[in-house]
C-alpha cells in the first residue's frame, strides 16, 4: 500500500499494510490511531505485558516488530487516550479473532492455500444474461452439529452437505449472511467488531477458503454479506478507537443507528479506505463472487429518512468504492439492499450512478406478500398492486428477494403469510412461487422457504427438516426444485430480462377475476405464465397472443404430485389462429389459486 493513497482515500489494499503481517521472519504490527497518546501491543507472546509501538513523524501509524509473536498468537492494542484512559482494542485489520465472548485478535497467515477454481473464475460473469437463483444461508442454523456445544459445524465440515443440497435443489448461488466476526449471535453478523476476521464460530480463514473453493468446483457461486454502514458499539472494537470519533460520526443524532450501533463516518478518507479495502479483501483473498451490501438506504439518506436529506459524503463514497471494486474485479457482483426509490442505484458510476450491479426489489416483495394476505373476495381491490412492479422494473437491475428479514420478529414465515387455513395456504404458496420465478429479476430465497417452513427463523435452531416427512411439504420441496430447474433451463425466463422488449402483458385487466397473464422472452421461444389468484375455477379462460403459436404446458402449480388436483397429461389448451389479424386466441383451464407456465413457439 502507498501510505499517501490511504490518507487520500484511494487505497483498496490497506489490509496489506495494517494489521499483523509476517515480514522477514518477524511479525510486524501496524495500526492507525492518530489521536492516541500511546499504544502498546499486548499478547500471549509477551505475557500480556505491553510493548510500545512507535509512531513515525506524527503519521498516525503506530508500528511494533516482534521476534516472539507467531501465527496463531493472540494480541490486542492497549491504547492510551489523550485524557489518560487506557482501553484494550482488537485489531481493526485483524485477520482472525477469538470466539466470543473473548475478543483478542489472532495473528493469521492467509498465504499458502491451494485454490482449484481458476476455471470458474475465468468463466465467471455478473450474470446479467444468466439465471441467478440465490439460497440465503445463516451458516449456524442451516443444520446444527450435535457434537458441538454451540451446535455449529465448521466451514469445512458443512461444505459437502450444503453443496450437495444446493445443487440438488437447483440453486445457482449461495449467499452467506455476514461471516465477519461479531460478538452477539442475535445480530446474525450485522454488528461487526472484526470486519476482516472470518467468524471463529465456524473455523479459521483457510477453512472458509476451502468452502468457497469447493463451491466453485461444484459450479456454485458464493456471495458474502457485507456491512459498510454501521458497526458494533462494543468498546474493544472500532468505537472510540483512538479516543476520538475516528470511525463514527460525532453527532449522536445521525451517529447512532436504529439498531443500537454506530454509523460510519464516510467523509473520512481513512474510513473509506478501511471499508473499500475490506470489500476488496473478501473478493480477492476469499474468491467470493459478489458482495451484498447491507442497509444501503441508511447510507443514501441520513438515518434512511429521505426527509433528512441525502448523505452526499456516503453516496460519493459508495460510488467511488464500487467503481474501484469493478476495476479490480470486473466479474464480481455488487448488490445493494436498498428500500428507497433513489435513482440510478444500479447505473454505472460513469453515468452518475452508484455503480451497484443489482438492487433488492423490496417494493415487489412488500406488495406481493401483502397481496397474498388478502382474502380472495377482496383481491380485486388490490389487483393493480401486482401490476405496479412492472411499471418501474426496467429502471434498475432487480433481485426479487424473500430474505431472512421477512421470516423473523413476528412477521411470520412466507408459508404462514398466505391467507386462509393450513390447507388453503399451500396452493397459494405454490402459485406465489411460480409468480416469483416467472417475473423478471434474479431470485433470492432464505433457507426454509424451499420446504414451506411454517416456523419463524430462530438463529439458535436448525431448520425444521423433519417436516419433509409430511407429503404436502415434501411435494412442495419437489415443486420448488422443479421451478428452479425450469427457471435455469429456459432462457426466456432470464436472458435479456432487463430489456423492456422482453416482457409483455397478455392479461392485465382481469380485475374481477384476479387473473394475470404475461409473456417473457424474445425470439421464437417464449414463456407464457398464467395465474389465477382467486378461489374460482375458470375452465375456459381465453386470451390473445401475437403470431401463430404452438403452446406446450411446462408446469402447473396444481399438479397432483405437488399436492394439487390436476393430473399431468390432462391439459386443456385450444388455439385458434387468425391469419388475417396474425394473432392466436388461446383458451386454457385455470383452477383456483393456480399458476401455469407454457412454452410458446412460433
Burial readout 534-562 (b: 16 or more C-beta within 10 A, e: otherwise): bbeebeebebebeeebebebebbbbbeeb
Active-site annotation holds for 117: no
Active-site annotation holds for 294: yes
Question: Do 376 and 419 form a contact (C-beta atoms < 8 A)?
Answer: yes
DSSP, collapsed to helix, strand or coil, labels residue 153 as: coil
For the chain, count helices (H), then strands (E): 15, 29
d(CA 366, CA 386): 10
- β-partners of residue 291 are 224, 334
> Nearest-CA neighbor of 128 among 452, 499, 544?
499
Q: Convert 344-379 into a string of H (helix), E (strand) and C (coil).
A: CCCCCHHHCCCCCCEEECHHHHHHHHHHHHCCHHHH
- If you ran DSSP here, which 8-state letter would residue 567 be given? P
Of 234, 294, 450, 558, which one is the catalytic site residue? 294
Q: Which triple of cell numbers denotes residue 222?
A: 458464493
d(CA 243, CA 486): 57
DSSP, collapsed to helix, strand or coil, labels residue 432 as: helix
d(CA 242, CA 80): 8
Question: Do 441 and 487 form a contact (C-beta atoms < 8 A)?
Answer: no
d(CA 51, CA 47): 10
Q: Where are the alpha helices (DSSP H) in 18-146?
A: 118-123, 139-142
DSSP, collapsed to helix, strand or coil, labels residue 402 as: strand
Of 136, 242, 337, 519, which one is the catalytic site residue? 337
Q: Which residues are tagged catalytic? A: 294, 337
Amino acid at each position: 500500500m502507498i501510505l499517501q493513497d490511504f490518507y487520500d482515500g484511494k487505497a483498496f489494499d490497506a489490509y496489506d499494510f495494517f494489521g499483523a503481517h509476517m515480514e522477514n521472519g518477524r511479525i510486524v504490527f501496524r495500526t492507525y490511531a492518530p489521536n492516541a497518546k500511546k499504544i502498546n501491543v499486548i499478547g500471549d507472546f509477551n505475557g500480556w505485558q505491553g510493548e510500545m509501538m512507535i509512531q513515525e513523524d506524527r503519521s498516525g501509524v503506530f508500528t511494533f516488530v516482534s521476534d516472539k509473536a507467531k501465527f496463531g498468537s493472540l494480541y490486542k492494542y492497549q491504547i492510551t487516550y489523550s485524557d489518560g484512559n487506557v482501553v484494550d482494542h482488537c485489531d481493526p485489520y485483524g485477520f482472525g479473532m477469538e470466539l466470543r465472548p473473548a475478543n483478542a485478535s489472532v495473528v493469521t497467515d492467509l498465504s499458502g492455500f491451494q485454490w482449484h477454481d481458476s476455471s470458474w473464475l475465468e468463466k465467471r460473469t455478473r450474470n446479467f444474461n444468466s439465471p441467478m437463483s440465490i439460497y440465503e444461508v445463516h451458516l449456524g442454523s442451516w443444520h446444527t452439529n450435535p457434537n458441538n456445544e454451540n451446535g455449529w459445524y465448521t466451514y469445512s465440515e458443512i461444505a459437502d452437505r450444503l453443496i450437495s443440497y444446493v445443487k440438488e435443489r437447483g440453486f445457482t448461488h449461495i449467499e452467506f449472511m455476514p461471516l465477519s466476526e461479531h460478538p452477539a449471535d442475535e445480530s446474525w453478523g450485522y454488528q461487526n467488531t472484526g470486519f476482516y476476521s472470518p467468524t471463529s464460530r465456524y473455523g479459521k480463514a483457510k477453512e472458509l477458503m476451502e468452502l468457497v473453493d469447493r463451491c466453485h468446483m461444484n459450479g456454485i457461486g458464493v456471495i458474502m454479506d457485507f456491512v459498510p454502514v454501521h458497526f458494533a458499539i462494543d468498546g474493544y472494537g472500532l468505537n472510540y478507537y483512538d479516543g476520538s470519533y475516528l470511525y463514527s460520526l460525532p453527532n449522536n443524532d445521525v451517529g447512532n443507528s436504529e439498531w443500537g450501533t454506530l454509523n460510519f463516518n464516510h467523509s473520512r478518507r481513512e474510513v473509506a479506505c478501511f471499508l473499500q479495502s475490506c470489500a476488496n479483501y473478501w473478493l480477492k483473498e476469499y474468491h467470493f463472487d459478489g458482495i451484498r451490501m447491507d442497509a444501503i438506504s441508511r447510507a443514501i439518506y441520513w438515518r434512511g429518512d429521505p426527509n433528512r436529506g441525502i448523505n452526499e459524503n456516503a453516496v460519493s463514497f459508495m460510488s467511488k468504492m464500487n467503481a474501484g471494486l469493478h476495476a479490480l474485479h470486473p466479474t464480481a457482483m455488487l448488490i445493494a439492499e436498498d428500500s428507497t426509490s433513489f435513482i440510478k442505484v444500479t447505473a454505472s458510476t460513469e453515468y452518475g450512478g452508484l455503480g451497484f450491479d443489482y438492487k433488492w426489489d423490496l417494493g415487489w416483495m412488500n406488495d406481493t406478500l401483502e397481496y397474498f394476505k388478502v382474502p380472495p373476495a377482496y383481491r380485486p381491490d388490490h389487483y393493480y398492486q401486482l401490476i405496479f412492479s412492472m411499471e418501474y422494473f426496467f429502471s434498475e437491475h432487480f433481485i426479487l428477494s424473500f430474505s431472512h428479514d421477512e421470516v423473523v420478529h413476528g412477521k411470520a414465515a412466507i408459508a404462514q403469510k398466505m391467507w386462509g387455513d393450513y390447507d388453503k395456504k399451500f396452493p397459494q404458496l405454490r402459485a406465489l412461487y411460480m409468480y416469483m420465478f416467472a417475473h423478471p429479476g434474479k431470485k433470492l430465497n432464505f433457507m426454509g422457504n424451499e420446504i414451506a417452513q411454517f416456523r419463524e427463523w430462530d438463529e439458535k435452531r436448525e431448520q425444521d427438516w423433519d417436516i419433509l416427512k409430511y407429503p404436502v411439504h415434501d411435494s412442495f420441496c419437489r415443486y420448488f426444485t422443479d421451478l428452479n430447474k425450469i427457471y435455469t433451463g429456459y432462457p426466456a425466463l432470464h436472458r435479456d430480462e432487463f430489456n423492456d422488449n422482453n416482457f409483455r402483458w397478455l392479461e392485465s385487466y382481469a380485475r374481477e377475476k384476479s387473473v394475470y397473464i404475461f409473456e417473457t422472452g424474445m425470439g421464437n421461444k417464449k414463456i407464457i405464465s398464467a395465474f389465477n389468484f382467486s378461489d374460482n375455477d375458470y375452465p375456459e379462460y381465453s386470451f390473445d397472443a401475437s403470431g401463430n403459436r404452438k403452446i406446450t404446458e411446462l408446469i402447473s402449480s396444481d399438479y397432483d404430485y405437488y399436492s394439487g388436483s390436476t393430473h399431468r397429461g390432462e391439459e386443456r389448451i385450444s388455439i385458434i389462429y387468425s391469419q388475417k389479424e396474425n394473432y392466436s386466441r388461446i383458451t386454457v383451464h385455470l383452477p383456483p389459486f393456480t399458476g401455469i407456465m407454457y412454452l410458446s413457439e412460433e
